[in-house]
A and B are shown apart, each in its own frame.
Chain A
Amino acid sequence: MPVFLFHILTGLAYGMFYFMIAASLTIILGVMNVVNLAHGAFFLIGGYITYSLVGSKVSFWLALLIAVVVMIILGIITEKVLITHVYGKEFEQVLLTFGLSFVIADTAKWIWGSESKALASPELLNFSLPFAEGLQFPVYRLSIVIVGLTIALLLWILENHTRIGAIIRAGVDDRDMVAALGINVRILFTGVFAFGVGVAGLSGALGAPLLGLYSGMDSDILVISLIVVVVGGLGSWKGSLLGAIIIGIIETLSKVYVPSLSMLIIFLIMMVVLLIRPQGLFGREVGT
């Protein structure tokens, strides 16, 4: 039983990690109506930047901060130069972000090579707590849960108690009306996209000690977070929270007990959710 609980707790840590990526993806989708298929690539770059900085003797936390700032700048540039041309054009968006993910991922492969990289947990958190007989739970995983919960809390405060949150909520409901009320939607979109890419970079930095870094990771991460978004409902970060915890726990359990079928099981869960609720757990109809 303790072993089973241990796996559940590990799954929860992975779930909170997926939540960070999926939430940023779903917020971009909800506010801007853009499926950002380059999200996994942004995640990977965030991780690689942190890895390189830590390698050149920068402390993990400073490296993480720099990575996030770089990603925010990259996000602003991407939105201003590329995404801005394809608003409202679904097909073009998909192709553009798809092409962009190829460019970013292959550039990353060029710079950092294709062999996988491991990054040690930051010293502050590099120890384990005794969990049960013979089981040690790494504190780093626990801290991921805490960071994930903090982000969820911040999103909740942002959404319900700030002016920006009110604008964003209104933007999800009726974008044209928000623009008509004199809100600068262009700046809002740039801000939301940069925020999303920043969180993707943050997840990459935090994920590097958890999962390591390897070329091809971008698509793995993208697919998992797309599944979380679909299960949770498009545009709903609360749905993503629930979806991420479900997917995280089930993925961990299936990897332990039936490793070769883990992806199949996750996919089947998505299919079952879609059969029962085609709009996802928390979703409303978007983009029909």
Chain B
Amino acid sequence: MRNTLFISTLLIALMIIGFFLLTDYGILLATEIAILAIFAMSLGLIIGYAGIISLGHAAFFGIGAYTIALLSEKMTNSYVLLITSVLLCAVIALITGAIFVRTSHFYFLMITLAFGQMVYALFFQSSWAGASDGLPVMADLNLGFGAIFNPEQYYFVMVSAFIIVYIFLRLYVHSPAGKITKGVMENEARMRSLGYNTRLYKLLTYTIAGALAGLAGSLYAFFNLFVTPDLTYWMFSGQVLIMVIIGGVGTLLGPAIGSAVYILLQNVISFYTDRWVLILGAILVTLVLVGRGGIVNWFQSLWTYLQQRRAKKHLSSTNHEIDNTYYKEDSKRGETV
């Protein structure tokens, strides 16, 4: 709990420092990163804490974004729009997840991929959703203190949303339900024999992840003011999966860091070449073959390595003392005998 408070304070401080240090373009990038970080954290939650891999997570992002765009023609209250959108995603995740979690791992991948492509086809083929052209968002983001227009305001809203989602996820992961879910991931048979309904916990995590992905999509809709079917495409699901992998599976902030690295890389690389997707695939293949757990884990292993070295030094000096005492004891014994 104290840790949560500490990290949240740190993140808020970073947000304020970032505001003063970043250029206009930096503010824009940071806003985009904050939105995608929410998305990446939601996928990181089901991969790292429930042990299930979804290849269609962009479906929820897209449904969230499209809900905002479609409803913005009828209503303007941002809170109503956001809550409706997140609830809708949660309900869809709950219904589809109830069927998905009955199946085993391989099925889960294939079915979520198919689900994502189905949502894509639905938006792509339907005229009410603007078909392949997409839809504009008619409403402005207004959280009670005036409509939000300029990049600085977006920056504060999106980064704050990211921090709130982070705190929420941290509390969830450390709650009894979160710990049971992690137990299910590590040994499902044992948790089942302990009397837990393992599917229920997987489903709960999947629903939360779906709702948060929907939130990220909704925020994106307000930020971009235009939605296209590409937001649900499997390429996007793949991209967010890569963010999770870059950052590290099994941590909360890892995927968020991964999304930052990803967005920065994308901006640099697409400046030089059109073959961003090719490079993306190559990065993924390389990470799998030599990556060993993502950036957060690299730092963690570096940290343990340094600790071990320090401990070794410490140990060798204490060993020396022990050797001496043995020697003394031996000599003492020698005296007595």
Which residues of A approach B to under 8 Å, CB–CB? 29, 35, 37, 82, 85-86, 90-92, 94-96, 98-107, 109-110, 219-220, 222-223, 226-227, 229-230, 234, 259-264, 266-267, 270-271, 274-275, 278, 285-288
B55:A98 contact, CB within 8 angstroms: yes
- In the bound assembly, the distance between CA atoms of A229 and B278 in angstroms comes to 28
Task: Determine if B106 is an interface residue (Cβ-Cβ < 8 Å).
Answer: yes
A263:B281 contact, CB within 8 angstroms: no
Additional 17 contacts, C-beta under 8 A, given A82-B289, A223-B234: A85-B288, A91-B47, A92-B288, A98-B284, A99-B280, A102-B284, A103-B285, A106-B275, A110-B278, A219-B233, A219-B234, A223-B114, A263-B122, A264-B122, A266-B118, A270-B111, A278-B107
Q: Counting chain B CB atoms within 10 Å of each CB, which of A29, A99, A101 scores highest?
A: A99
Question: Nearest residue in A to B286 (C-beta to C-beta)?
Answer: A99
- In the bound assembly, the distance between CA atoms of A226 and B111 in angstroms comes to 8
Task: Determine if B277 is an interface residue (Cβ-Cβ < 8 Å).
Answer: yes
Tell me if B's interface is mostly helix, strand, loop or mixed: helix
A29:B114 contact, CB within 8 angstroms: no
User: Chain A contacts of B53 at CB under 8 A?
Assistant: 91, 94
The 8 Å CB contact of A110, one of B47, B275, B288, is B275
With both chains docked as a complex, state the minimum distance between the C-beta of A234 and any C-beta of chain B, in angstroms: 6
User: Chain B contacts of A226 at CB under 8 A?
Assistant: 110, 113-114
- In the bound assembly, the distance between CA atoms of A230 and B115 in angstroms comes to 12
Inter-chain residue pair count (beta carbon < 8 A): 130
B121:A100 contact, CB within 8 angstroms: no
User: Chain B contacts of A91 at CB under 8 A?
Assistant: 47, 53, 249
A274:B103 contact, CB within 8 angstroms: yes
User: Chain B contacts of A286 at CB under 8 A?
Assistant: 104, 106
With both chains docked as a complex, state the minimum distance between the C-beta of A42 and any C-beta of chain B, in angstroms: 14
A96:B114 contact, CB within 8 angstroms: no
B281:A230 contact, CB within 8 angstroms: no
User: Chain B contacts of A222 at CB under 8 A?
Assistant: 113
User: Chain A contacts of B238 at CB under 8 A?
Assistant: 98, 102
User: Chain B contacts of A85 at CB under 8 A?
Assistant: 288-289
With both chains docked as a complex, state the minimum distance between the C-beta of B240 and any C-beta of chain A, in angstroms: 12
Q: Counting chain A CB atoms within 10 Å of each CB, which of B96, B117, B122, B245 scores highest?
A: B117
The 8 Å CB contact of B104, one of A37, A102, A288, is A288
B104:A287 contact, CB within 8 angstroms: yes
User: Chain B contacts of A260 at CB under 8 A?
Assistant: 122, 125-127
Task: Determine if B283 is an interface residue (Cβ-Cβ < 8 Å).
Answer: yes
B110:A229 contact, CB within 8 angstroms: yes
With both chains docked as a complex, state the minimum distance between the C-beta of A172 and any C-beta of chain B, in angstroms: 14
The 8 Å CB contact of B287, one of A95, A103, A266, A288, is A95
User: Chain B contacts of A90 at CB under 8 A?
Assistant: 105-106
With both chains docked as a complex, state the minimum distance between the C-beta of A180 and any C-beta of chain B, in angstroms: 25
Question: Nearest residue in B to A110 (C-beta to C-beta)?
Answer: B275
- In the bound assembly, the distance between CA atoms of A266 and B125 in angstroms comes to 14
The 8 Å CB contact of A230, one of B110, B127, B277, B285, is B110
- In the bound assembly, the distance between CA atoms of A35 and B55 in angstroms comes to 12
User: Chain B contacts of A285 at CB under 8 A?
Assistant: 104
The 8 Å CB contact of B114, one of A270, A278, A288, is A270
With both chains docked as a complex, state the minimum distance between the C-beta of B300 and any C-beta of chain A, in angstroms: 19
Per-residue interface assignment for chain B, residues 238 to 271, with 1 indicating a CB less than 8 Å from any chain A CB and 0 otherwise: 1001100100010000000000000000000000
A99:B282 contact, CB within 8 angstroms: yes
Question: Nearest residue in B to A95 (C-beta to C-beta)?
Answer: B288
Q: What 9 A-B pairs come out closest when comparing CB atoms?
A: A102-B281, A99-B284, A263-B121, A103-B281, A106-B278, A106-B277, A267-B118, A99-B285, A288-B104
Which residues of B approach A to under 8 Å, CB–CB? 47, 53, 55, 96, 99, 102-107, 109-111, 113-115, 117-118, 121-122, 125-127, 233-235, 238, 241-242, 245, 249, 275, 277-278, 280-285, 287-289
- In the bound assembly, the distance between CA atoms of A185 and B120 in angstroms comes to 40
With both chains docked as a complex, state the minimum distance between the C-beta of B187 and any C-beta of chain A, in angstroms: 13
- In the bound assembly, the distance between CA atoms of A202 and B120 in angstroms comes to 28
A264:B234 contact, CB within 8 angstroms: no
Knowing A98-B241, A106-B277, say if A230 contacts B288 (CB, 8 Å). Answer: no
- In the bound assembly, the distance between CA atoms of A91 and B288 in angstroms comes to 9
With both chains docked as a complex, state the minimum distance between the C-beta of A99 and any C-beta of chain B, in angstroms: 3
User: Chain B contacts of A219 at CB under 8 A?
Assistant: 117, 233-235
User: Chain B contacts of A261 at CB under 8 A?
Assistant: 122, 125
A35:B245 contact, CB within 8 angstroms: no
User: Chain B contacts of A96 at CB under 8 A?
Assistant: 284-285, 288-289
User: Chain B contacts of A104 at CB under 8 A?
Assistant: 281
B281:A100 contact, CB within 8 angstroms: yes
- In the bound assembly, the distance between CA atoms of A91 and B47 in angstroms comes to 10
Knowing A95-B241, A98-B241, A263-B121, say if A227 contacts B114 (CB, 8 Å). Answer: yes
A263:B241 contact, CB within 8 angstroms: no
The 8 Å CB contact of B107, one of A95, A230, A259, is A230
With both chains docked as a complex, state the minimum distance between the C-beta of B155 and any C-beta of chain A, in angstroms: 31
Question: Nearest residue in B to A267 (C-beta to C-beta)?
Answer: B118
12 intermolecular pairs with C-beta atoms under 8 Å apart: A35-B109, A99-B242, A100-B281, A102-B277, A220-B117, A229-B110, A262-B125, A270-B114, A271-B96, A274-B103, A274-B111, A286-B106
Question: Nearest residue in B to A108 (C-beta to C-beta)?
Answer: B278
A94:B109 contact, CB within 8 angstroms: yes
- In the bound assembly, the distance between CA atoms of A98 and B285 in angstroms comes to 8
The 8 Å CB contact of A102, one of B96, B99, B117, B278, is B278
Question: Nearest residue in A to B234 (C-beta to C-beta)?
Answer: A219
- In the bound assembly, the distance between CA atoms of A109 and B283 in angstroms comes to 18
- In the bound assembly, the distance between CA atoms of A105 and B281 in angstroms comes to 10
Knowing A86-B288, A94-B55, say if A263 contacts B106 (CB, 8 Å). Answer: no
